[in-house]
Amino acid sequence: MPAAYSNSQKASIAQFQALAQTDRATAARYLKSENWDEQRALNAYFSGGNANATPRSASGLKKIFEKYREDAKNSPETVGVEGTMQYLQDIGSDIEGLETLAVLEIVQAPAMGEMTLAGFVNGWSALNCDTLDKQRAHIQNLKQTLPSQPDTFSKIYTYTFQLAITGQQRAIPLEAAVAYWELLFTSPLSALKWSTPSSPFITWWIEFLNTVWKRSINKDIWGQTLKFAKLTLQDERLGFWSEESSWPSVIDEFVEWVKKEKRGEVAEQEASEEY
């Protein structure tokens, strides 16, 4: 005999089915496991897919990929900039939004504006999103849940370095790095907004980079900046930092710059020593 559900539970099941494009029993099972919290249930559903594509899902994903492929003869396993931009629009991803970086991380895009068949099939299969409707639903769910998912944000942040470098470069041009940092640390979807009411760190960081550092950003700096940003939000007075710490020189210089230019701490210390 089918289980009896309340009106609110029935509405949750219907909503889950519409977003996940799945059957009623699956929707009810995930909702029950998350105590009828729709967001947690959807997140569990989308992140718990089979990592290996079934023949049916692989075939369906290949057809989607081929729809956006520009040059079937010369580049049968690649979608270029034009096709990628159209695909992102079709699944409801703002091309200039943080969710686009999330999509490109899912499909392991080799560069900004490019997708490969293997990355596309493996990425979406792992999330059980083998149709455009499921992919749209995943993006809509991601927009709601990403601000509360620091681990997912960290994955996106780390992968962005791969997207930002071009050709054989080993570092990101400063202008590009600043643009990505601004998006990653200020987007409404970000799980790490690098600012407090008294310490607008991301604004200071960009100002420092443009006026003092003026150099490209390598992989170590990129990775350490995320670690540094997390610590500054726990201790905005920067008490965790010391000259003996093994931070990249750009971060050491930034800390000294903040103390001197934004907080006057160095000047106060020098005046005290003179006195």
User: Which CATH class, in words, describes the domain spanning 152-274?
Assistant: mainly alpha
Let me know: does 93 contact 100? Beta carbons within 8 Å: yes
Q: Which amino acid is residue 153, in one-letter code?
A: F
* Domain parsing of the chain, residue ranges: 7-47, 55-146, 152-274
Per-residue pLDDT tens digits for 128-176: 999 999 999 999 999 999 999 999 999 999 999 999 998 888 999 999 9
Instruction: Compute the distance between CA of residue 248 and CA of residue 250 in angstroms, rounded to an integer.
Output: 5
Tally helices (H) and strands (E) across the chain. Answer: 14, 4
Domains 55-146 and 152-274 share a fold: yes
Let me know: does 121 contact 58? Beta carbons within 8 Å: yes
3-state SS, residue 130: coil
Instruction: Compute the distance between CA of residue 58 and CA of residue 36 in angstroms, rounded to an integer.
Output: 31
Per-residue pLDDT tens digits for 205-259: 999 999 999 999 999 999 999 999 999 999 999 999 998 889 999 999 999 999 9
* CA dihedral over 255, 257, 260, 264, signed as positive or negative: negative
Which CATH number applies to 55-146: 1.10.238.10, 3.30.300.30, 3.40.50.300, 1.20.1090.10?
1.10.238.10
